């Protein structure tokens, strides 16, 4: 009977179960360690946005929103910087100079 009372008082939230060792985390590796494909998709998206904004440039200028064109240029440029960084990081990982994941 006292076992039933103790069991009913036991916290069942995931944090408590994890602390008691009842739950374990699965070792799941990330799908893409390099990040390069994700950055390339972002660069392409910014390039497409640039073309779309360029098409509507006159309307945006009338509404005082011509600065949107420069936002797309900045996104594209920052994407190129990100691509450079990801390639450099991936080369370092492949060469064994960096761990694949950092805690």
Per-residue pLDDT of the chain (103 residues; tens, 9 = 90+): 555 555 556 777 877 777 777 767 778 776 767 889 999 999 999 999 999 999 999 999 999 999 999 999 999 999 999 999 999 999 988 888 766 665 4
Which pLDDT score, from 0 to 100, does residue 103 have?
Answer: 47
Residues in the chain: 103
Q: Could you give the CA distance from residue 83 to residue 35 in angstroms, rounded to a whole number?
A: 8
93: nearest Cα among 44, 54, 36: 36
């Amino acid at each position: 009977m006292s076992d039933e009372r103790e069991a009913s008082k036991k916290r069942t939230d995931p944090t408590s179960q994890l602390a008691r060792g009842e739950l374990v985390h699965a070792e799941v590796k990330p799908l893409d360690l390099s990040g390069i494909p994700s950055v390339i998709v972002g660069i392409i998206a910014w390039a497409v946005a640039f073309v779309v904004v360029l098409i509507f440039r006159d309307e945006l200028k009338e509404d005082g929103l011509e600065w949107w064109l420069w936002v797309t240029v900045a996104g594209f440029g920052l994407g190129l910087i990100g691509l450079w960084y990801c390639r450099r990081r991936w080369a370092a990982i492949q060469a064994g100079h960096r761990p694949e994941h950092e805690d």
